[in-house]
Structure 1
Amino acid sequence: MVLITDAEELGLHGADIFVNKHPWAKNVGLVLNFEARGSGGPSIMLVETNKGNANLIKGFTEANPDYPLGNSLFYSIYKMLPNDTDLTRFREDANIDGFNFAFVDDHFDYHTALDTYSRLDRNTLEHQGSYLMALLNYFSEANLSALKSIDDLVYFNVPLFKMITYPFSWILPLFILAVLVYVLLVAYGFKKRRIELKPVLRGFAAFFSAFIVSVLIGLFGWKLLLALYPQYGEILHGFTYNGHTYIAAFVCVAVAICCLVYNKVYKPKMGQV
């Protein structure tokens, strides 16, 4: 079934009417929801479910899309935001799980007269299509009534390996293991006199100094730009048309600050490389 809904921005009305009024809604077992918040960039996968995501993520992995992009953190952040998609109505009103696929780059086109087909990045469109065909082929043969699960998986994409997953129950043991390995390595370094306390503290001081200065320059630098160009305040979506240039400039400033601070703090001994 292909469903095109409207009035999303006004309150998900199109999806709401379909889910709660249309007789076909009861035949839906899984939703593949394709979204856009810009006109380019990679498409990010966000699984949306009322319970555990284990079976959905296993199915996504077995469907094996060519260029998967997504991780558990994205959805955790998404749940904290006030944003909803049409898939929200399916999940909340009909207990139907699904996947969101959304691209968010070139945000300056979003909800403007420039948000046109001609400005849509063809690579982005192809990325959306790669998800659609892979998942459509897989889930059309799957038992959609068996997608519910009480278990959650941590998932993230890695180049060459595509999606890596492991159970949520592994999080605490892996965290403890990582802390233990770190402590043992530090202790070994002190024992062998390869690590000294004073240089370590200087390193932390340098890092936090560079971080704080960079954040302050970013915050007040942007306020200065808004004062110099008050018309930026009229851009409803908040992203200027030369926003990527500003991002690159602030990144360069942050890198320069980091290099300057570490150059002042870290002084190699004579003959030390």
Structure 2
Amino acid sequence: MSRTISIILMCIVLVIGIGLGAQLFLPPTPPDKSDVHYPSYKQMMINLKAMTVVPHPSGSKELESVRAYLLEQIRAMGLKATIDKVTYTVDDVKADLIERKGAPDFKNMPPINGVSAEEGFMNTIREKAHFDKNDKLVLQNILVKMDAPKTDRGILLMAHYDSEPETPGAADDMLSVVAMLEAIRKHAGNPSLKSDIYFLFTDGEEVGTLGAKSFVQSHPELLNKIDLVFNFEARGSRGPLLMFETSDRNLDAVNYLQSASSRPLSSSFLTALYHQMPNDTDLTRFLKAGYSGLNFAAAQGAENYGRETDTIENLDLGTAYHYLLTALEVVDHASQVPFKEGRKQDSLFFSLSPSYLMIMSNSTSYILSLVAVVLAIWWMILQIRQGSFRLRTMMTGTGWLLGVMVGAALLSWGIVAGVTQVMQLGESTNNDNAFFSIFFLMSICTLIAGIIRARKLSLREALAGFLPLHLLLIVGCLVLFQEISYLFSLSTLGILAVALLDRYKIGRWIASVVVGTTIVFLYMPVCWLIYVLLMLPFTPVSVAISVIPISIVSALFITKDTLVLKSCE
């Protein structure tokens, strides 16, 4: 096959792989008037507009108005809400914060504008909420329970209804609140529930998740009655709803989500990455108390997070619908299918489509990794014995790949530094245009470098350069970051499949198309999630990782075995 056709086919594979990966991160289209969910969606948006007129931090009169509106909606459904009140002082909040985050070294911190470091710390706490003149704050959690007639076990859905002092909190977190309201409305008075369903609206999340803390402490009896907690949060105002955190031993919980939701977008890589971050949510209090749970949030549009721009006007309507759809489907499913946790083991999972999660137990993922490692070592030893390439070839190829990764990361780091200064972008920014421009530029550079190198090698020589790095990554992930081991195990098995079909021209080309597309598709969400979760400054990390699949695709299509050799021309 000519070099031109090979390059065209390679580009098609890259476009399809990237396109399929990008489809995962598109929120659903909002319903039209003919859709069964349109009435709920319309009412949700009406409620959201009414409850996000102004900021409403804990302890404020504005939050009292939001609470009154929320309670009136619940009463209009013929339901009764329970209000749990708890009082915290500034000292209580300080003690809790130090317990969770550690005590600052106040003695060695200089005063600012004549205010000591410790007093400044206390003032920062006061700014998060409206404490009264005695430095006290009354938090009010709202609980609605739907009783199933033949059981005392069920699930709990949770969102917080307070906001940061500067923001109306349309995404964080009133969107979750109004989505839960519509789930309540749909099942109010449902006589055929198979599970108890609890709806908890917490206060004080922005003051250190204190509302959730008090609820867990005040209701120890619920630990043996609530089988699974769903917490709805937000870290941005657009993009799909991601399930970004799970409790330990999550296999049954993730399978339950798969059964309940038509768009269960998540990845065990995402949940592992989140666990490395210092963030807390209301679910953190429940997980520490021993509950099983799942955490959801939209993560794009972080430039609006906690700011005055977190308004209904800046909220993506598809994102809003994804919240509603998930809340409705979770309650629909729970109303008929109780959650039962039997296989208490961790899982590895990733999205194969917007509607399907690939889920496997940890033990299965270990077996997959072991098979990939054994087959890769067997193939490399066999090829060296047959004289297909030398050990030096493998080392040279691996060194080249690492060099390109480092070079791409450094170059993109320089570009990011320049772009953020010119465009005056902060570190907590999801600027998609900047990210895609940098990513596209570096991908082209990587592709050109891969083509130049691959055309001088045979397929086996080129692929041999990728396997040592993949083996190191598999072993490293099994020890340190098992949740992403699938990426390197499946890529390794795909590389070996193409290599074994090298002598069969048609089989090799078919395998190259399938494997190349799959590898790009698997890598794309990982690169995207790193950027979304860690913001624009971490673009170099995404770029470095993207070098691997682009280089592999170059090897699959541009190595000299795929070209017409001079002797045959």
Show the counterpart of 2:435.
Answer: 247
Q: State the match for 1:40 in structure 2.
A: 238
Taking structure 1 as the reference length, what is the TM-score of the superposition? 0.81
CA shift at 1:34, angstroms? 1.0
Contact 1:207 1:258 in 2 (8 A): no
Range 189-198 or range 251-260, more displaced? 189-198
- 2: CA distance between counterparts of 1:160 and 1:36? 19
Compute the RMSD of aligned alpha carbons.
3.0
What residue number does 2:211 align with? Answer: 14
Match of 2:254 in 1: 57
Higher Rg: 2
More divergent stretch after superposition (2-11 vs 119-128): 2-11
Residues 65-74 or 254-263, more deviating: 254-263
> Which residue number corresponds to residue 211 of structure 1?
405
- Per-residue deviation, residues 135-186 of structure 1 (Å, max 9, x unmatched): 2122233445x43653222222212871222221123322121112223334
Letter in 1 for 2:319: T
Structure 2: gaps spanning 5 or more residues: 1-197, 457-559
Q: 1:198 to 1:96 in 2, by over 3 A?
A: closer
**SS of the residue 2:264 aligns to:** coil
Pick aligned residue for 1:3 from 200, 205, 211: 200
Q: Which residue number corresponds to residue 228 of structure 2? A: 30
Equivalence map 1:1-273=2 (5 Å):
1-21=198-218, 28-49=226-247, 51-63=248-260, 65-93=261-289, 95-144=290-339, 146-147=340-341, 149-159=343-353, 162-190=356-384, 200-228=394-422, 231-232=424-425, 235=426, 238-239=428-429, 243-268=431-456, 271-272=564-565
Cα contact 2:263–2:354 (8 A) shared by 1:
no
State the Cα distance separating 1:125 from its structure 2 match: 1.9
1:9-58 CA-to-partner distances (Å, cap 9, x unmatched) read: 32101212222236995654432111110101111114532x42122123
Q: Contact 1:41 / 1:103 at 8 angstroms: preserved in 2? A: yes
Higher mean alpha-carbon deviation, 105-114 vs 200-209, is at: 200-209
Amino acid at match of 2:428: G
Compared CA separation, residues 134 and 10, structure 1 to 2 (3 A) = same
Contact map agreement 1:47 1:53 (CA 8 A) in 2: no
Please tell me whether the aligned partners of residues 18 and 25 of structure 1 are also in contact (alpha carbons under 8 angstroms).
no
Equivalent residues of 1:209, 1:261 under 8 A apart:
no
- Distance of 2:303 and 2:355 partners within structure 1: 33
**Alignment-mate amino acid for residue 257 of structure 2:** F
What amino acid is aligned across from residue 179 of structure 1 in structure 2? V
Superposition TM-score, scaled by structure 2 size: 0.42
- Distance in 2, matches of 1:29 and 1:197, equals 54
Does the 8 A contact of 2:250 with 2:347 survive in 1?
yes
Aligned residues: 263
Q: Provide closer, same or farther for how the CA distance between residues 10 and 74 of structure 1 changes in structure 2, counting only shifts above 3 A.
A: same
Distance 1:188 1:218, change over 3 A: same
Change (3 A) 1:158 1:169: same
**Residues 99-108 or 256-265, more deviating:** 256-265
The structural deviation recorded for 1:6 is 3.3
- For 2:220 and 2:375, locate their aligned partners in 1 and report how far apart those are by CA, in whole Å: 57
Change (3 A) 1:163 1:266: closer
1:39/1:210 CA distance change after superposition, 3 Å:
same
- Note the C-alpha offset of 1:258: 1.3
Q: Which has the higher contact order (CA 8 A, sep 6+)?
A: 1
Partner of 2:176: none
% identity of equivalent residues = 24
- Aligned mates of 1:70, 1:227 — CA distance in 2: 33
Find the aligned partners of 1:171 and 1:248 in 2 and give their Cα distance: 32
Q: Aligned AA for 1:42? A: P
* Aligned-pair CA distance for 1:201: 4.9
